[in-house]
């Protein structure tokens, strides 16, 4: 693909041009082809090179990772950029998938790196977005899940950007080959016991035989869902403000003036406002049935996923608990 390098450089330059002032530029670097292309492309842009720090996270899950650190450090040195590595415990806890555990452990470290005006770049691309949307669809997610991954989001004290989110995997591979990059092939990426790998290896190639532009069309759908979700969130924030007490509890009589659909919308926004994991539809219905509508002489307590929901007179109270 002739113009793979130019298109990727344009995407990165355009994305970063919107960030001003820009202090440090951290790049999540695993040594794989995607993150290697992102790191290389940023390093060849003179206006950003001095700000770059490549960050490798050792998850403690594969014995080859010690060798991968050496590889990544060597690549960073050859590109003339700073390199950092961190070790984390990425073993899954109760209720976590292996992928989720690794992501949570990785993101916790990366968040703590960023200060004001810092940016973290992640090399997720259009096929990654396709996999994310399909996984959310199969899990029965609503609009927020079907919106997929945002290209830009607040992250710790800085921002997280995905400048390759509109770039196809074929362009990334072409860039790597054009520049004779030497990347790591993680053998775990071939294991179909993981949902994402199963989609990538078994399902998406078959779908693309019929719908060749599937990654582009699903990415467009994700954008539409994100726009709709943003509008709903704006409405939900307004409605939440009408029922939210100063102590962050909800005023039950005010909540009950809304339809059940809006009650659930407000409850979801309440969880988001408190920076908590989004509740399932079943859990929302249980809050309504078992807590809000419980008999007046009852003192209901509902616990799930590290949160406790209780009713205290006219208040609905949510607190975090140890799992």
151 and 18 assigned to the same domain: yes
31 and 102 assigned to the same domain: yes
173 close to 18: Cβ distance less than 8 angstroms: no
What the block records as the tokens of 223 is 């954008």
The kind and range of the H/E element at 27 are strand 25-28
Question: Is residue 267 in some structural domain?
Answer: yes
Question: Is residue 199 in some structural domain?
Answer: yes
316 close to 250: Cβ distance less than 8 angstroms: yes
Statement: residue 149 has pLDDT above 70: yes
297 and 208 assigned to the same domain: no
Most confidently modeled of 90-99, 189-198, 227-236? 227-236
The predicted-structure confidence for 8-17, as pLDDT tens digits, reads as follows: 999 999 999 8
Model confidence, pTM = 0.86
Q: Which domain holds residue 162?
A: 4-212
Statement: residue 246 has pLDDT above 90: yes
According to the model, what pLDDT value does residue 142 have? Answer: 85
Q: What is the CATH number of the domain that holds 11?
A: 3.40.50.620
Q: What are phi and psi of 195, to 5 degrees?
A: -55, -45
What the block records as the tokens of 42 is 């940023």
Residue 18: C-alpha distances to residues 8, 12, 42, 117, 123 (Å): 16, 10, 15, 12, 18
146 and 9 assigned to the same domain: yes
Q: What is the CATH number of the domain that holds 289?
A: 1.20.59.20
149 and 264 assigned to the same domain: no
92 and 29 assigned to the same domain: yes
Question: Is residue 221 in some structural domain?
Answer: no
165 and 17 assigned to the same domain: yes
Question: Is residue 234 in some structural domain?
Answer: no
Q: Are β-strands 158-161 and 119-121 bridged in parallel, bridged antiparallel, or unpaired?
A: parallel
Question: Is residue 222 in some structural domain?
Answer: no
Residue 175 confidence class, pLDDT cut points 50, 70, 90: very high
248 and 200 assigned to the same domain: no
Question: Is residue 217 in some structural domain?
Answer: no
Number of domains, the chain:
2
Average pLDDT over residues 93-102: 70
The Cα 71–Cα 43 span in angstroms is 17
Question: Is residue 226 in some structural domain?
Answer: no
269 and 123 assigned to the same domain: no
Most confidently modeled of 56-60, 65-69, 245-249? 245-249
The Cα 216–Cα 201 span in angstroms is 18
Statement: residue 97 has pLDDT above 80: no
Residue 245 confidence class, pLDDT cut points 50, 70, 90: very high
248 and 312 assigned to the same domain: yes
264 and 175 assigned to the same domain: no
202 close to 125: Cβ distance less than 8 angstroms: no
According to the model, what pLDDT value does residue 286 have? Answer: 92
The Cα 72–Cα 85 span in angstroms is 9
DSSP 3-state assignment of 20?
A: coil
What the block records as the tokens of 212 is 């060749």
Contacts of 295 (CB under 8 A, 6+ apart): none
187 and 248 assigned to the same domain: no
Residue 322 confidence class, pLDDT cut points 50, 70, 90: low
Question: Is residue 308 in some structural domain?
Answer: yes
Look over the chain and give the mean of its residue pLDDT values, rounded to a whole number: 91
The predicted-structure confidence for 20-54, as pLDDT tens digits, reads as follows: 899 999 999 999 999 999 999 999 999 999 999 99
Helices (H), 18-86: 33-43, 46-49, 65-79
Last residue of some domain: 191, 212, 233?
Answer: 212
């Amino acid at each position: 693909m002739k113009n793979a390098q130019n298109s990727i450089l344009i995407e990165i330059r355009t994305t970063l041009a919107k960030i001003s002032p820009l202090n440090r530029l951290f790049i999540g670097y695993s040594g794989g082809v995607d993150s290697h292309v992102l790191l290389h492309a940023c390093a060849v842009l003179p206006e950003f090179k001095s700000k770059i720090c490549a960050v490798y996270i050792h998850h403690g899950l594969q014995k080859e990772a010690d060798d991968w650190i050496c590889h990544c450090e060597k690549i960073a040195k050859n590109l003339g950029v700073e390199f950092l590595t961190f070790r984390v415990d990425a073993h899954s806890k109760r209720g976590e998938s292996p992928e989720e555990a690794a992501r949570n452990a990785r993101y916790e470290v990366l968040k703590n790196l960023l200060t004001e005006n810092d940016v973290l770049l992640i090399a997720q691309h259009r096929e990654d977005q396709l996999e994310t949307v399909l996984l959310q669809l199969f899990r029965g997610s609503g609009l927020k899940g079907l919106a997929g991954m945002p290209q830009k989001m607040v992250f710790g004290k800085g921002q997280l950007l995905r400048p390759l989110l509109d770039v196809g995997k074929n362009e990334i591979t072409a860039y790597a080959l054009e520049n004779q990059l030497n990347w790591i092939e993680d053998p775990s990426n071939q294991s179909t016991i993981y949902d994402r790998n199963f989609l990538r290896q078994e399902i998406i190639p078959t779908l693309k035989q019929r719908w060749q532009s599937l990654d582009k069309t699903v990415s467009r759908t994700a954008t539409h869902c994100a726009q709709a979700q943003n509008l709903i969130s704006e409405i939900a924030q307004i409605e939440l403000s009408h029922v939210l007490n100063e102590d962050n509890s909800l005023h039950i009589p005010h909540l009950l003036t809304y339809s059940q659909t809006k009650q659930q919308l407000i409850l979801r926004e309440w969880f988001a406002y408190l920076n908590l994991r989004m509740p399932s539809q079943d859990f929302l219905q249980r809050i309504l049935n078992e807590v809000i509508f419980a008999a007046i002489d009852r003192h209901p307590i509902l616990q799930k996923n590290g949160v406790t929901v209780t009713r205290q007179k006219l208040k609905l109270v949510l607190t975090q608990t140890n799992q």
